[in-house]
């Protein structure tokens, strides 16, 4: 999709963040956040819908993706949840945005949940796609789950190995295509859509950030000490109190939805849960109208 707007850069925390902006500059702000293995193109269709409704939409490339770069070569290339949340908070600060709706899924949903739970005064509303309460319980990460569920996490265990690091370096397009097809069985993407997103993984820090992300969440490697205080605040799994809408695809291939909404108890504020038929893991790109509608309702 060819989107209106422009790609800009801003120094925010430890990053030079590249982001797409569309919609009126004086409109209510919404931050749309992509996951792994996707990029900002997953969120641009919803951003354009919202821009047409008067919303200022900002869609940043996460650390390790696209033109986003670390400012200092010595900064650890961490992919932990605290780093993603800190990046989002720094992005809001750098742009002078006091409060915004934050909407994301996968890694982007994790960043949004971290800011919503630790800095709720900055969040007007939260849209969480795929996983509702998207904060890792690192202390319990070593506990096994059902065999079928374990099999869906093959890529995470693969990335725990040096063979996995080499595979992600040499065969990222093949890995991404396989994951997209496993996670979104009804999403009929074409080769051009895949190639456009895979280009965002040419970032020199992509492999290191991804490998760290999937190792640190299981305690295989340590986190960046700079984020230890944030991780300590997340460890008790605090409830999210901001107004929230959870969008879950009925056919998500990572963790298919259960018969009911299992995360409701983790939210203490106004909360709505919606299941989207025939939608997989990549909620904003597969269902941009539903994603945009949820954001609009929270503004």
Question: Residue 210 has what pLDDT?
Answer: 98
- How many residues belong to the chain? 299
> b/e map of 12-30 (b: 16 or more CB within 10 Å)?
bbbbebbbbbbbeeebbbb
DSSP 55-108: -EEEEEPPTTSTT-EES-TTS-----HHHHHHHHHHHHHHHT-S-EEEEEEHHH
**Close Cβ partners of 63 (under 8 Å, ≥ 6 residues apart):** 15, 70, 77, 79, 83, 84, 87, 205, 209
270: left (phi > 0), else alpha (psi -120 to 50), else beta?
Answer: beta
**248 membership: H or E segment, kind and range:** strand 244-249
**pLDDT confidence band for 201 (50 / 70 / 90):** very high
**Contact present, 216 and 223 (Cβ < 8 Å):** yes
pTM: 0.96
Cα–Cα distance measured from residue 117 to residue 233, given in angstroms and rounded to the nearest whole number: 10
Distance separating alpha carbons of residues 42 and 253, to the nearest angstrom: 17
Q: What is the mean pLDDT of residues 178-201?
A: 97
Q: What's the pLDDT tens digit per position in 35-87?
A: 999 999 999 999 999 999 999 999 999 999 999 999 999 999 999 999 999 99
Domain ranges of the chain: 6-298
Tens of pLDDT along 180-189? Answer: 999 999 999 9
Instruction: Give per-residue pLDDT as tens, 244-282.
Output: 999 999 998 887 776 667 789 999 999 999 999 999 999
Measured in whole angstroms, the distance separating CA 68 from the mean position of its chain's CA atoms is: 15
- Using the 8-state DSSP alphabet, how is residue 238 labeled? P
C-alpha 273: how far from its chain's center? 18
Calpha distance 282→284 (Å, rounded): 6
35: closest CA among 149, 154, 128, 115?
Answer: 128
What is the distance between the alpha carbons of residues 281 and 185, in angstroms, rounded to a whole number? 9
Q: Under a CB-based contact definition with an 8 Å cutoff, are residues 276 and 256 in contact?
A: no
pLDDT recorded at residue 3 = 47
Q: How far apart are the first and last CA of the chain?
A: 25
The CATH number of 6-298 is which of 3.30.479.10, 3.40.50.1820, 3.40.640.10, 3.60.15.10?
A: 3.40.50.1820
pLDDT score of 5: 58
Concatenating the DSSP letter of every residue in 134-199 gives ----GGGTTS---HHHHHHTHHHHHTTSHHHHHHHHH-HHHHHHHHHHHH-TT----HHHHHHHHG
Provide the sign of the torsion angle of the four alpha carbons 215, 221, 227, 231, taken in this order. positive
């Amino acid at each position: 999709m060819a989107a209106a707007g422009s790609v800009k850069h801003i120094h925010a925390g430890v990053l030079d963040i590249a982001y797409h902006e569309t919609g009126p500059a004086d409109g209510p702000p919404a931050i749309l956040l992509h996951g792994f293995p996707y990029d900002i193109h997953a969120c641009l269709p919803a951003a354009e819908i919202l821009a047409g409704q008067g919303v200022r939409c900002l869609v940043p490339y996460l650390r390790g993706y696209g033109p986003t770069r670390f400012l200092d070569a010595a900064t650890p290339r961490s992919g932990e949840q605290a780093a993603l949340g800190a990046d989002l908070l720094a992005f809001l600060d750098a742009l002078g945005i006091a409060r915004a709706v934050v909407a994301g899924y996968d890694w982007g949903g994790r960043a949004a949940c971290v800011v919503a739970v630790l800095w709720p005064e900055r969040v007007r509303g939260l849209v969480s796609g795929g996983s509702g309460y998207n904060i890792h319980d690192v202390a319990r990460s070593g506990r096994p789950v059902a065999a079928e569920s374990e099999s869906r996490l093959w890529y995470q265990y693969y990335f725990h190995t040096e063979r996995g690091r080499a595979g992600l370096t040499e065969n990222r397009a093949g890995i991404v295509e396989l994951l997209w097809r496993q996670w979104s069985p009804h999403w009929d993407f074409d080769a051009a859509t895949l190639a456009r997103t895979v280009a965002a993984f040419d970032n020199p820090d992509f492999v290191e950030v991804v490998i760290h992300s999937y190792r640190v969440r299981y305690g295989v490697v340590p986190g960046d000490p700079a984020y230890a205080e944030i991780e300590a605040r997340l460890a008790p799994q605090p409830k999210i109190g901001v107004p929230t809408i959870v969008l879950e695809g009925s056919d998500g291939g990572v963790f298919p939805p259960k018969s009911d909404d299992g995360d409701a108890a983790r939210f203490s504020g106004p909360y709505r849960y919606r299941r989207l038929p025939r939608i997989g893991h990549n909620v904003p790109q597969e269902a941009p109208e539903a994603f945009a509608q949820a954001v609009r309702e929270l503004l």
